[in-house]
């Protein structure tokens, strides 16, 4: 919990140790979820396509990852919304 708070406050530096630890965590989550990086990328592309029908999003900062606790794997998406599309019903 303290580690999370430190990251949120920007007190943790992106040292090579931390970067390697995060990469290893992601590899393990992908492995346990039985989803390849290719499949996760395709999922990300499909999410972008669907969400773009309803809102303008910032694709350059969009993040889609898998997260795991002791019992389950979750898809976590951080999708910055620039604005809502008002004419989506006319398409």
Tens digits of residue pLDDT in 49-72:
999 999 999 988 888 887 777 777
**Tens-place pLDDT, residues 25-54:** 666 665 666 777 788 788 888 988 999 999
**Across 7-17, average pLDDT:** 61
What is the token pair recorded at 81? 């919304």
* Distance (Å, whole) CA 65 – CA 67: 6
Assign 11 a pLDDT band (cuts: 50, 70, 90).
Answer: low
What is the token pair recorded at 54? 């309803």
User: Given this model, what pLDDT does residue 50 score?
Assistant: 92
SS3 content of the chain, % helix, strand, coil (to 5): 50, 20, 30
Domain boundaries, the chain: 2-90
Name all contacts of 7-12 with Cβ < 8 Å and 24+ positions apart.
none
């Amino acid at each position: 919990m303290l580690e999370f708070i430190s990251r949120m406050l920007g007190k943790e530096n992106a040292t090579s140790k931390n970067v390697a630890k995060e990469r290893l965590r992601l590899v393990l989550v992908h492995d346990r979820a039985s989803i390849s990086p290719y499949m996760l990328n395709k999922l990300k592309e499909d999410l972008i396509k669907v969400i773009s029908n309803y809102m303008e999003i910032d694709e350059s900062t969009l993040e889609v990852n898998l997260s795991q606790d002791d019992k389950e794997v979750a898809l976590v998406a951080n999708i910055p919304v620039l604005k809502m599309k008002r004419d989506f019903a006319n398409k």
